Amino acid sequence: MSKTRFFSLVIALIFGFAVGGIAIAGEGPATIVLKAKKGNVTFPHHKHQAKFKCGECHHGPGHSAYKEGMKIEKCEKCHNKEFKNKKLNSVMKVMHKKCKGCHKAHKAENAPTKCNGCHKK
């Protein structure tokens, strides 16, 4: 095997392990932009991920417990007008309950609890 081919193989393996490692670690996106009528919410996913376990926000069908490697679906797949619980039948209702509730509990960390703290126009 030539040196060039060997070097290419080594680089490909390093890249493969790096990408695979990120996927295995469940990194997810650094930020997520949630579209909203009152102004989009730029959610610092990486910052939250450093403090909380995935299962504190994510769950499976029927609210089954999150397990490592579980496919994370978009919230609106279930939380839509067809959802039986009217208090959680939209992503907005879920986010306001879950996020706002958590932010109020972590008030000392200056977590926003007012509309303009998350919604930016």
- Tell me the pLDDT tens digit for each residue of 62-121: 888 888 888 888 899 999 999 999 999 999 999 999 999 999 988 778 889 999 999 998
The answer to whether the beta carbons of residues 76 and 86 sit under 8 Å apart is no
| pTM > 0.85: yes or no | no
Whole-angstrom Cα distance, residue 81 to residue 96?
16
Q: Is the pLDDT of residue 60 over 60?
A: yes
Whole-angstrom Cα distance, residue 40 to residue 34?
6
